[in-house]
Amino acid sequence: MTRLLDRATALMDRAGLPQGSLAHADSGMHVLRFHTPSPQQATVYRPLLCLVLQGSKQVSAGARNLTVAAADSLIVSHALPVVSRITRATPETPYVALVFPIDLDLLRGLAAAVPPAGGMRSNDPFSITRCPTDPAMQDALTRYLDQCAKGGTRQLLAPITRQEIHARLILGAHADALQKLLWQETTASRIFQATREIQSDLSRTVVVGELADRIGMSQSAFFVHFKAVTGTSPLQYQKDLRLLHARDALRGSDAKVSEIAFHVGYESSAQFSREYARKFGLSPRQDRATLAAE
């Protein structure tokens, strides 16, 4: 863990970022470093592996809560709206984490050669899992970062190690959750299809019965399994994604609030403003002003 922490710290230092989030282009990874605990932040987690190297963080989706501390790793198998906050960080011992995006197509290409997860299978279908970080995974990620630092090894060796990291994901402690996602006829894979369909057009109203029919489940079973996997209902899942997409639009464009509201599927600008303020604590206009000031 110390070697990986040193690599992450060095990347932030070379980028001249005392704290914040660094998108490391050569590896495709993100490095996070924060010196103080944070307020709650809403975002979308996409399939990823997150290693907390120092400090701790709390992650919530719906009614589900997880605390992820140093030496823990987190797997997210579905796109998931979450609320998170850093709970342990100081200037002397900042919160530091590495995020490795998961390529589901690459995982599927490897899955045929992998035996089903053995031992005690988890009965918890929730799409976020936490476990102690595997030393072999730490070693593979350290080698991957080192290989990405130089042109020759980045072209020749890093792709091999990236494949190794994905292979370790479906051989290690997270194998059960990921294997259930990869096989086409599992409940987890069907719910994944449903989340992808909701994400594909946020402006379209979700009709739960029709969506359940398209993925081959009864409406009652679909509702139960969707909530078990994502921590929330299909309609709330879409609402959270709409509001997060709208917040990104407020940050990245000069479009009117009403235009953003209609673009993400709201028919009423007033309703959008009410639900936005309920989720983020500020109206869209107040939030845009705060973001501009920052």
The domain that holds 235 is classified in CATH as: 1.10.10.60
Which among 105, 120, 116, 134 is positioned nearest to 47, based on CA atoms? 105
Please give, one letter per residue, the 3-state secondary structure of 14-41. HCCCCCEEEEECCCCEEEEEECCCCCCE
Strand intervals (E) in the chain: 20-24, 29-34, 41-45, 48-54, 56-61, 64-69, 72-76, 80-88, 95-101, 128-132
In a shared domain, residues 20 and 146 = yes
Confidence of residue 120 (pLDDT cuts 50, 70, 90): very low
pTM: 0.83
Contacts (Cβ under 8 Å, ≥6 apart) of 213: none
* Extended strands (E) in 116-182: 128-132
The pLDDT value given to residue 123: 64
Contact by Cβ (8 Å): 237, 230: yes
pLDDT per position as a tens digit, 255-278? 999 999 999 999 999 999 999 999
Do 163 and 206 belong together in one domain? no
Least confident of 62-71, 86-95, 176-185, 280-289: 176-185
Q: At what angle do helices 269-280 and 234-252 cross, to 10 degrees?
A: 90
Cα gap 193→180, rounded to integer Å: 13
196 shares a domain with 154: no
Distance of CA 27 to the CA centre of its chain: 17
Q: Count CA atoms within 13 Å of residue 226 on its CB side.
A: 24
Q: Domain of 8: which CATH number?
A: 2.60.120.10
Q: Could you tell me if 205 and 173 lie in one domain? A: no
Verify that 139 and 249 share a domain, yes or no: no
Q: What is the pLDDT of residue 184?
A: 57
* Model pLDDT, residue 178: 76
Q: Is 47 within 8 Å of 114 (Cβ atoms)?
A: no
Number of domains in the chain: 2
The position carrying tokens 């070697």 is 3
Residue 171 has pLDDT above 90, yes or no: no
Query: Cβ distance 284 to 250 under 8 Å?
Result: yes
Domain boundary residue, one of 128, 154, 181: 181
Is residue 99 domain-shared with residue 164, that is, in the same domain?
A: yes
Give the whole-angstrom CA distance, residue 74 versus residue 125: 15
pLDDT tens-place string over residues 191-238: 989 999 999 999 898 999 999 999 999 999 999 999 988 989 999 999
- For residues 37 and 139, membership in a common domain is answered with yes
Q: pLDDT averaged over the chain?
A: 89
Give residue 122's domain range. 2-181
The three-state secondary structure class of 88 is: strand
Half-sphere exposure of 58 toward its Cβ, with a 13 Å CA cutoff?
Answer: 11
Among candidate residues 135, 154, 181, the one where a domain is terminated: 181
Distance between CA 204 and CA 224 in Å, rounded?
22
Q: Are residues 162 and 52 in the same domain?
A: yes
Would you call 125 helix, strand, or coil by DSSP?
coil
Given a contact cutoff of 8 angstroms between Cβ atoms, the answer to whether 232 and 195 are in contact is: no
Contact in structure between 179 and 116 (CB atoms under 8 Å): yes
On whether the CB atoms of residues 175 and 169 are closer than 8 A, the answer is yes
Whether 147 and 249 map to the same domain: the answer is: no
Strand order in the sheet with 64-69: 41-45, 80-88, 56-61, 64-69
What is the residue whose two structure tokens read 């009410």? 274
Name the pLDDT band for 156 (thresholds 50, 70, 90). very high
Domain termination site, one of 134, 152, 181: 181
In terms of domains, do 86 and 189 share one? no
Spatial contact of 210 and 183, defined as CB atoms under 8 Å apart? no
Kindly state whether residues 77 and 177 are assigned to the same domain.
yes
Output the pLDDT for position 118. Answer: 52
274 shares a domain with 240: yes
